[in-house]
Amino acid sequence: MAKSLAELASPYLHGLAPYTPGKPIEEVEREFGITGAIKLASNENPLGPSPLALRALREALPEAHRYPDGGGYFLKARLAARLGLTPDHLVLGNGCNEVLELMARAFLLAGDEVVIADPAFVIYGMLAHLQGCTTIRVPLKAWTHDLEAMAKAVTPRTKMVFVGNPNNPTGTAVGPTELTAFMDALPAEVIVVIDEAYIEYVPQEMIPDSLTYVRQGRWAIVLRTFSKIYGLAGLRIGYGMAPPSIVELLERIRAPFNVNALAQRAALAALEDEHHVTNSRMFNELGKAYLSSELHRLGLQFPPSVTNFLLIDVNRDGRVVADALLRMGVIVRPLGGAHLKTHIRVTIGTPPENERFIDALRSVLQKGSHQQSAISRQGKS
């Protein structure tokens, strides 16, 4: 009897749910028959790309019929000079997600153990599961990676540890002292993935020198991206920094021309636009202060964030709240799961977007409170 398609598929696909991205603005407007929707679900820079990047894109369009530089020569050279590395320390990816996938495919085997925080970026656990690994989940401490507990969770079977710093979805980060103690406590043969997608938003005094471990030749890879503060999420470009011995293995399985030519040109230009980065950081801090104040007025709790998003406890089913906001044209991210059932994640937007979110959230919460009061009165009658 012929096998079914499910029987032919990898057994590690069982129990693996697809990643669900935030809905695009156009889809929400079409689905609900509204206009002027705003998206605060995917931690994008509300100011968009830098003017220099946009100009570079326009100049590059006539050459769109050419294949991109498969080795990313100019971008790697610029990043290396900026970071005090060599081009051999760098691997480019179609977003950080691809670099994460390369790490998993290159090193993780069925039966290996992987240590991650809980909750953390969902892709870490998905990749470990897909490779047939045992995932050890270590609860957060005060909404932050408990690095001491994570180090203690390492066993002789542990192949890889993921550290999101800052952590998505909590927005929290560990400091230099904590990361140093963690790295000192780990066996040298454990591979450490340090995901710094939001590092440009972190206050300078809280930023660990994670590249020290790369320069020392430790089995570590540090990930960064152009999707967040640089505003190039739609072009999908990220990069990893690791000892050349790790990079060489990743390059063996990297797809040819994985980073498109427009993305490379825009990224090069974005690196030169310090004004855009500074302005984006300033707008983010102002928006964070406003949202924090208004959320406290609403009696809502959230971890102190060093990123461009907030994880908000709405004290009721987060998916219900997110759906109600969606119907009002405000797109946020519900989380769910064992720890975050009552939470939503909200990107810090422009001042008008932040104000609209607060107004919509206040309306949804008040309506929900009235409905709950009515149900309570009916139950007593």
CATH label of the domain that carries residue 150: 3.40.640.10
Q: What is the pLDDT of residue 369?
A: 62
Considering the domain architecture, whether residues 191 and 82 belong to the same structural domain is answered as yes
pLDDT of 146 over the 90 cut? yes
Calpha distance 1→294 (Å, rounded): 63
Considering the domain architecture, whether residues 14 and 76 belong to the same structural domain is answered as no
Q: What is the pLDDT of residue 376?
A: 47
Considering the domain architecture, whether residues 231 and 169 belong to the same structural domain is answered as yes
Q: Supply the CATH number for residue 312's domain.
A: 3.90.1150.10
Which residue, 219, 254, 272, sits at the end of a domain?
A: 272
Number of domains in the chain: 2
Considering the domain architecture, whether residues 29 and 62 belong to the same structural domain is answered as no
Distance of CA 210 to the CA centre of its chain: 18
Calpha distance 294→190 (Å, rounded): 44
Considering the domain architecture, whether residues 251 and 319 belong to the same structural domain is answered as no
SS3 for 148?
A: helix
Q: What is the pTM assigned to this prediction?
A: 0.94
* Both tokens assigned to 373: 């009061």
Per residue in 67-91, pLDDT (tens digit) is 999 999 999 999 999 999 999 999 9
For 104-144, the DSSP string reads HHHH--TT-EEEEEES--HHHHHHHHHTTPEEEEEE-BTTB
pLDDT of 55 over the 90 cut? yes
Instruction: Please check whether residue 345 is in contact with residue 337, taking contact to mean a CB–CB distance below 8 angstroms.
Output: no
Which residues have CB under 8 Å from 156's CB, separation 6+?
none
pLDDT of 170 over the 80 cut? yes
Considering the domain architecture, whether residues 227 and 247 belong to the same structural domain is answered as yes
- Confidence band for 199, pLDDT divided at 50, 70 and 90: very high
**Residue 28 counted as domain residue:** yes
Kindly report the average pLDDT of the chain as a whole number. Answer: 94
- Confidence band for 200, pLDDT divided at 50, 70 and 90: very high
Per residue in 5-28, pLDDT (tens digit) is 888 889 888 888 888 887 889 999
Instruction: Please check whether residue 45 is in contact with residue 231, taking contact to mean a CB–CB distance below 8 angstroms.
Output: yes
Q: What is the pLDDT of residue 2?
A: 81
Considering the domain architecture, whether residues 225 and 302 belong to the same structural domain is answered as no
Calpha distance 374→377 (Å, rounded): 5
**Residue 88 counted as domain residue:** yes
Q: What number of helices (H) and strands (E) belong to the chain? A: 14, 12
Per residue in 246-276, pLDDT (tens digit) is 999 999 999 999 999 999 999 999 999 999 9
Q: 93: closest CA among 294, 323, 250?
A: 250
Considering the domain architecture, whether residues 193 and 312 belong to the same structural domain is answered as no
Considering the domain architecture, whether residues 166 and 231 belong to the same structural domain is answered as yes
Q: What is the pLDDT of residue 375?
A: 46
Burial degree of 86 (CB within 10 A; 0-12, 13-18, 19+): middle
Considering the domain architecture, whether residues 41 and 133 belong to the same structural domain is answered as no
Q: 170: closest CA among 142, 205, 130?
A: 142
Structural domain harbouring 213 = 52-272
Per residue in 338-357, pLDDT (tens digit) is 789 999 999 999 999 999 99
Least confident of 53-67, 76-90, 361-375: 361-375
Q: What is the pLDDT of residue 374?
A: 46
Placement of tokens 């790490």 in the chain: 103
pLDDT of 194 over the 80 cut? yes
**Residue 247 counted as domain residue:** yes
Considering the domain architecture, whether residues 172 and 219 belong to the same structural domain is answered as yes
pLDDT of 377 over the 80 cut? no
Q: What is the pLDDT of residue 340?
A: 95
